[in-house]
């Protein structure tokens, strides 16, 4: 006997759809911001830079875990970013066999550039909305981000070696 799926709360389904729709718009803004930047990087490469800015130097294995990808893909992403001078590899001071990747000053500058573009575009959109709608969206997105455990831009402290 096949069990029926639990009944979905219509309000939650509607909220989920609204967040998904908003996320598509935000991904579009992110891509346009990255494309407007001075370096030619992809969204996954940008994510590597964000993780390194938020969490500091780390090994490829740890980085892969944080990104939810396998080590070989993380290594390839890092190879390209290193060729662009946006990250650098350095032997661990505690374990000579281990190599850590870290954000360079060029990588930090690129993140600042991308984030500034994103801020302008999101700000332009928000400026067309009623203040109370923006305040409600701020609360909802803050709560959502905390539950989703996504680092906010204010939590990103650029770590360089």
Domains identified in the chain and CATH numbers: 42-149 (1.10.10.10)
Q: Is 8 left (phi over 0), alpha (psi -120 to 50) or beta?
A: beta
93-129 residue pLDDT tens: 777 778 899 999 999 999 999 999 999 999 999 999 9
Output the average pLDDT for the chain. Answer: 88
Q: Which of 156, 154, 152 has its CA nearest to residue 53? A: 156
Q: What is the pLDDT of residue 161?
A: 39
Strands 58-59 and 87-91: unpaired
pLDDT tier at 152, thresholds 50, 70, 90: low
- The pTM of the whole model exceeds 0.95: no
53-88 pLDDT, tens digit per residue, is 999 999 999 999 999 999 999 999 999 999 999 999
CB 52 within 8 A of CB 103: yes
Sheet holding 87-91, edge to edge: 58-59, 99-103, 87-91
Tens-place pLDDT, residues 63-72: 999 999 999 9
For residues 87 and 59, what is the distance between their CA atoms, to the nearest angstrom? 12
């Amino acid at each position: 006997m096949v069990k029926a799926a639990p009944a979905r709360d219509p309000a939650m389904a509607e909220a989920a759809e609204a967040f998904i729709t908003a996320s598509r718009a935000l991904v579009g803004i992110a891509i346009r911001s990255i494309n407007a930047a001075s370096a030619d990087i992809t969204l996954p490469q940008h994510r590597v830079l964000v993780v390194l800015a938020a969490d500091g130097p780390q090994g490829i294995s740890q980085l892969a875990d944080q990104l939810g990808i396998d080590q070989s893909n993380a290594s390839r992403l890092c190879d390209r970013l290193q060729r662009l001078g946006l990250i650098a590899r350095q032997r661990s001071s505690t374990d000579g066999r281990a190599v850590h990747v870290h954000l360079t000053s060029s990588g930090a500058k690129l993140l600042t550039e991308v984030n500034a573009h994103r801020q302008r575009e999101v700000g332009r959109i928000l400026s067309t909305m009623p203040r109370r709608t923006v305040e409600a969206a701020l609360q909802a997105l803050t709560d959502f981000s905390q539950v989703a455990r996504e680092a906010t831009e204010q939590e990103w402290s650029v770590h360089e070696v």
